[in-house]
Amino acid sequence: MSKLDFSPIADTTRRAEIVALLRRAILTGQLEPGQKLNELRISEQMRVSRAPLREAMRELVQEGILASIPYAGTFVIDVAAKDIVDAYSLNKVLDDFAIELTWPQRDQRFFDELDRRHEAVKQATRSLDTTRQIEAALRLHGLIYEWADNSVLLETWQRLTSRLQMYFALHQRARNEPVPAEDLHETYVALLKGTDMRAAQRHAREHIDDDFEELLAFARGLEERASKGAERRR
Amino acid sequence: MSKLDFSPIADTTRRAEIVALLRRAILTGQLEPGQKLNELRISEQMRVSRAPLREAMRELVQEGILASIPYAGTFVIDVAAKDIVDAYSLNKVLDDFAIELTWPQRDQRFFDELDRRHEAVKQATRSLDTTRQIEAALRLHGLIYEWADNSVLLETWQRLTSRLQMYFALHQRARNEPVPAEDLHETYVALLKGTDMRAAQRHAREHIDDDFEELLAFARGLEERASKGAERRR
DNA sequence: CCTTGTTAGATTGTCGACAACCTGCTTATC
DNA sequence: GATAAGCAGGTTGTCGACAATCTAACAAGG
C-alpha cells in the first residue's frame, strides 16, 4: 500500500479550457464590463467550434460573471456601485462565519499555510504584478473558508470572489499603480494566529471597510460611464 | 404615455424550457440523487437535440444540483448528511443578515405580501400536495431575501434554496406523509410584523433547528444507501 | 417629418453526424 | 486459472451546416 495518493488528473475537455481562458480574461479585466462576446469570432480565435464555447459561456453565466439575453448575445456583467456594496456587505457576514468555524480547527498546518500565502502576497507586491497581487490576496483571504470545513460556504465565497476579483482588477486598471496595503495583511495574519476570535472578526470587518471606500468611489465613476455606454456592446 | 409598464417577455429558447423541466424533476425528487442523466435518451424524450440539452445541463451543474465528470456523465448530486448540516448552518447566518437588512424596509406592501404567501402555505398544506407545500414554504421564507435589496444575497439564497428544496423533497418522499408545521409559520409571520428584530432573528434560528433534527436523521440514512449505491448510476 | 413596412446582413439557437473515449466482454497467452 | 491484449457497444465531446431571430438601413406612405 503506497502512502502517495494521487489527485484527479486535469479535465481534458476543450470546454474546461475555454472556461478557464474566458474566466481569466474577464477577471483580469481584459474583457470589459458590458462587452459583448461574439461566438463566431471567439471560436475562430480559439480554433474551436461554437458548441464547447457556448457550453463554457453557459457555465460562466451561472457563475455570475456573464449575462445572457436570448437571441441578443452574451455580455460581461456590468459593474454597478450597488453590486459592489452588496457583495462587500455579504462578504463581511461570511467572513465572520468563516472565522468562527475555522477558529477551533486551527493547527500547525493552518498556520504554515497562512504564512505561505502571506509570503505569496508580499512577493507579488514586490513584483508589481497587480493581477498576481490580487489573486494572492484573495487566496490568503480564502484560507479561512477552505479551513471552515463547510463546502456550501466555500462555494458561496468562491462565487462572491469572482466578482470581487473583477472589481479589484478594474479598479487597479483604472488607477494603473500598485497598492501597498501590506501592513493590513500583517495584522490580519497575526490576529488569526492569536487567541482573540472577536478581535480577528472585528479586524476582518474593518479591513474590508478600508479598501472599500476607495473602490466604491471608483465604482460610482464606472456607473456614469456605464449609463451612457450601453452602445459599447458591439 | 401609458402608465402600464411591461415586463420582459419570457425566454423562448428550448434551453430555458429544458432547464426548467430538469430542475423541477430534480427538486421534486423524480430524478434521484446519484442518478445518471443519459443525454441521448432525454433528448429523444423531449424531442430536442443534444445541443440545447447539454447547455441546460451545464447551467444546472453550475447551479449545484448536477455534477459532471468528463467522458463519464452528468449525475444528480449525492446528498450527504454533511451537506445538509452545512447548508443549514449557512442558512441561519444568511437569515440573520436578511432580517437585519429587511427590517427597516418593511412597509404595508411587505406585510401584504407576507400574508399572501403565508396563505399560500396554508392552502398547500390543506391540499396535501407536499411538493407545493415545500415550494410555498420556501417562497414565504424567501420574502425577507427579496426585500433585503441585496442582489448578491438574494442570488446566494436562491442557490442554497435549490438544495434545501431537494433535501426536503427527498425527506417527504421517504416519509410519504404531509407535515403540519403550520403554527411555526404563524409565529414567524407574527414576529416579522412585530417590533423586536432580535426576537425575529432568534426565532428564525430556532425554527430552522426544529425541522432540522428530523431531516438530519433522514440524511444519515441516505448516507448509508449512497455509500454502497454508486452502481445505482445507470 | 414622422411612422410603418421591407429587406439584407449578421448573430444566436438548434440539429444531425462524426470523433474520442470509456466499459465490459472476449480471446489469447502464459 | 490468472493476466493482459484487443474488440464491440454505448456514451460523451466536438464539429459544420441550417433555421430562427434580431438589428439597422432604407423605402413607402401618411
Q: What type of residue sits at position B223? A: E
For each of the domains in chain B, give its residue range(s) and CATH number, in order of start: 15-76 (1.10.10.10), 81-219 (1.20.120.530)
pLDDT in tens, A80-105: 888 888 998 999 999 999 999 999 99
A87 exposure class (CB count in 10 Å sphere: 0-12, 13-18, 19+) = buried
pLDDT in tens, B74-105: 999 998 888 888 998 999 999 999 999 999 99
Which H or E element spans position A134?
helix A130-147
The per-residue pLDDT string of chain A (234 residues; one tens digit each, 9 = 90 and over) reads: 444 566 666 568 999 999 999 999 999 989 999 999 999 999 999 999 999 999 999 999 999 999 999 999 999 999 888 888 899 899 999 999 999 999 999 999 999 999 999 999 999 888 888 888 888 989 999 999 999 999 999 999 999 999 888 988 888 877 766 555 567 788 999 999 999 999 999 998 887 766 676 777 776 666 665 554 443 333
pLDDT in tens, B44-53: 999 999 999 9
The pLDDT value given to residue B9: 65
Q: What is the mean pLDDT of chain B?
A: 86
Is B3 a residue whose pLDDT tops 60? no
The pLDDT value given to residue A168: 83
User: Of A204, A191, A202, A226, which Cα lies nearest the Cα of A82?
Assistant: A226
Nearest chain B Cα distance for residue A220, angstroms: 17
Which nucleotide, over all strands, has the C1' atom closest to the CA of B36? D11
CB of A35 closer than 8 Å to CB of A76: yes
The pLDDT value given to residue B84: 87
**CB B13 within 7 Å, strand C:** yes
Q: What is the mean pLDDT of residues B199-207?
A: 89
Which H or E element spans position A37?
strand A36-37
Is B233 a residue whose pLDDT tops 60? no
What's the CA angle centered on B145, arms B81 and A68, to 5 degrees? 90
CB pairs < 8 Å spanning A and B: 80
User: Of B234, B176, B166, which Cα lies nearest the Cα of B26?
Assistant: B166
Which residues are CB-contacts of A140 (< 8 A; sequence separation ≥ 6)? A114, A117, A118, A120, A121, A185, A188, A189
Which residues are CB-contacts of A138 (< 8 A; sequence separation ≥ 6)? A161, A164, A165
Which residues are CB-contacts of B90 (< 8 A; sequence separation ≥ 6)? A97, A150, A152, A153, A156, B160
Spatial separation of the C-alpha atoms in residues A166 and A27, rounded to whole Å = 5
Query: Which residues of A fall within a CB distance of 8 Å from B61?
Result: 59, 62
DSSP conformational letter for A69: E
The gap from C-alpha A65 to its chain's centroid, in whole angstroms, comes to 11
| Local structure of A147: helix, strand or coil | helix
Whether residue A83 and residue B150 make contact (CB cut-off 8 A), yes or no, is no
Interface of A with B (CB under 8 A): 11-13, 15-16, 51, 54-55, 58-59, 61-64, 70-71, 82-83, 86-87, 89-90, 93-94, 96-97, 150-153, 155-156, 159-160, 163
**CB nearest to A55's CB, from B55, B64, B150:** B55
Phi, psi (5° rounding) for residue B75?
-125, 150
Spatial separation of the C-alpha atoms in residues B181 and B188, rounded to whole Å = 11
Residue B46 region, left (φ>0) first, then alpha (ψ -120 to 50), else beta? alpha
Which residues are CB-contacts of A45 (< 8 A; sequence separation ≥ 6)? none
B131 compared with A120, residue with greater pLDDT = A120
Helix boundaries (H) for chain B: 14-27, 39-46, 50-63, 81-102, 108-127, 130-147, 151-175, 182-193, 197-227
Location of C-alpha cell 489527485: A7
CA of A71 to C1' of D20 (A): 9
Whether residue A90 and residue B97 make contact (CB cut-off 8 A), yes or no, is yes
The pLDDT value given to residue B211: 65
Q: Give B55-109 as a DSSP string.
A: HHHHHHHHHTSEEEETTTEEEEPP--HHHHHHHHHHHHHHHHHHHHHHGGG--HH
**CB nearest to A62's CB, from B63, B87, B97:** B63
Spatial separation of the C-alpha atoms in residues B34 and B229, rounded to whole Å = 8
Spatial separation of the C-alpha atoms in residues B97 and B95, rounded to whole Å = 5
The pLDDT value given to residue A234: 32
Nearest chain B Cα distance for residue A138, angstroms: 18
Q: What is the mean pLDDT of residues B201-229?
A: 70
Whether residue B152 and residue A83 make contact (CB cut-off 8 A), yes or no, is yes
Nearest chain A Cα distance for residue B16, angstroms: 9
pLDDT in tens, B136-157: 989 999 999 999 999 999 999 9
The pLDDT value given to residue A8: 60
Spatial separation of the C-alpha atoms in residues A232 and A36, rounded to whole Å = 8
The pLDDT value given to residue B156: 96
User: Of A219, A228, A96, which Cα lies nearest the Cα of A164?
Assistant: A219
Spatial separation of the C-alpha atoms in residues B222 and B218, rounded to whole Å = 6
CA of A152 to C1' of C12 (A): 34
The pLDDT value given to residue A172: 80
The pLDDT value given to residue A175: 73
The pLDDT value given to residue A210: 67
User: Of A105, A195, A95, which Cα lies nearest the Cα of A147?
Assistant: A105
Spatial separation of the C-alpha atoms in residues A130 and A134, rounded to whole Å = 6
Q: Dihedral sign for Cα A214, A220, A224, A225, please.
A: positive
